[in-house]
Amino acid sequence: MPTKDNHVKEPLFHIIKRPAISRLHSAIIRMIAVALALVVCGIVIVLFTGENPITMYATMIDGAIGTSRRAWSMVQNMAILLCISLAVTPAFRMRFWNTGAEGQTLIGGLATAAVMMFCGNKLPTPLLMICMILASVLAGAIWGLIPAIFKSIWNTNETLFTLMMNYIAIQIVAYYTYRFSVPKGSGQIGMINQSTQAGWLPRIANNNYLINILIVAVLTVIVYIYLTYSKHGYEISVVGESENTARYIGIDVSKIIIRTMIISGAICGLAGFLLVAGTDHTITRDTVAGRGFTAIMVSWMAHFNPLYMLITSLLIAFMDKGAVEIATMFRLNDSFSDIITGIIIFFIIGSEFFINYQIKYNEARKEAA
């Protein structure tokens, strides 16, 4: 009788962990990924539109930084995205997957708008600004505290919990947007205190966005120092590496989770303040516009390093502005610009695989052959 062949075929290739490589090597891999992404985007552009890819790329650059106004607008978008990315980073370093930045920012923005509407013409400007900041930070901190308490006491799944709280926040904002709508029943609040500009962040050097950018720049340095050199930052890293190790050396894991999520939520609330008081001067359910989810990618691509996030957030903001210009100039659907952005981001994220791993030909199979 024929015997069964129990020999297991070896795969042709196998993936192994790559030893640590230099920053130059990593940068080269990422540049190759960007170059390949542009080639693939060029092929897609020719196949689906028949346009010249070089012309489209030039349009993208022009849309992002073609004029000083466009450049300031792009940097402003980068600043808000960076602020939210800084907010989620402490939690991510702790391996607490906070996917609720969208809702935490939105709740902070709602608190800012409420103070502007009800206290705008009753308080002097300095006191009004202080109340707005405190309200937004406190609202965001509370929204971050809720999932932290459930995680520390009942070990709930923080990813799902924070994700679901986004939808609660959106509906709360939608309710109050309708409640405070001007005129009644319109479903829109409109510009808050448009005639008096009470609660609006002041212009600096004749620029509406400079104060936002400066605040986020200072915040970036603070978060970097906090995570890198402070005792709290060390405790966050230890909990992220191993909760059991953290408990063994006497760290109160529940306390670290709660404290870190309060900080994350508070920074998100500050981002909501900047959006309402410094940029939009109103609040809608779409004020954050998905930045809470994009911030997850920005933080991850920067390996949770606040300084590297300057680059990743700038890249995302640049592509977003440039892609919108492409859709406008070439009369394409907005989805096409999202496709171009998605391809580039896909290659950049994919390059991380080749930085951390390498594919090797299976020598054992070759010898057996």
Residue 252 maps to a domain: yes
Residue 22 maps to a domain: no
Residue 258 maps to a domain: yes
| pTM attached to this predicted model | 0.90
Bridge partners of residue 345, in order along the sequence: none
Bridge partners of residue 359, in order along the sequence: 15
Residue 293 maps to a domain: yes
Amino acid at 209: Y
Residue 260 maps to a domain: yes
b or e along 236-272 (b: 16 or more beta carbons within 10 Å of the residue's beta carbon)?
bebbbeebeebeeeebebeebbbbbbbbbbbbbbbbb
Q: What angle do CA 195, 196, 198 make, to 5 degrees?
A: 135
C-alpha to C-alpha distance for 101 and 7, rounded to whole angstroms: 51
Is residue 98 scored above 60 in pLDDT?
A: yes
pLDDT band at 81 (very low <50, low <70, confident <90, very high): very high
pLDDT band at 6 (very low <50, low <70, confident <90, very high): low
User: What is the mean predicted confidence (pLDDT) over 113-132?
Assistant: 94
> Contact at 8 Å (CB) between 169 and 143?
yes
Written in H, E and C, the secondary structure of 256-302 is HHHHHHHHHHHHHHHHHHHHHHHHHCCCCCCCCCCHHHHHHHHHHHC
Q: What pLDDT, on the 0 to 100 scale, is given for residue 163? A: 96
Compute how many other C-beta atoms are within 10 angstroms of the C-beta atom of residue 120: 18
- The interaxial angle of helices 231-241 and 68-93, nearest 10 deg, is 70
Compute how many other C-beta atoms are within 10 angstroms of the C-beta atom of residue 320: 21
Domain of 167, CATH number, reads 1.10.3470
Residue 3 maps to a domain: no
The 10s digit of each residue's pLDDT in 192-242 is 999 999 999 998 888 888 999 999 999 999 999 999 999 999 999 999 999
Bridge partners of residue 15, in order along the sequence: 359
Is residue 331 scored above 90 in pLDDT?
A: no
Residue 21 maps to a domain: no
> Contact at 8 Å (CB) between 85 and 298?
yes
Q: What pLDDT, on the 0 to 100 scale, is given for residue 2? A: 53
Q: How many domains would you assign to the chain?
A: 1
C-alpha to C-alpha distance for 151 and 161, rounded to whole angstroms: 9
Residue 96 maps to a domain: yes
Name the residue with tokens 């230890």: 238
DSSP of 322-342: HHHHHHHHTT--HHHHHHHHH
- Determine the structural domain holding residue 161 and report its residue range: 52-329
The 10s digit of each residue's pLDDT in 146-194 is 999 999 999 999 999 999 999 999 999 999 999 888 777 777 888 999 9
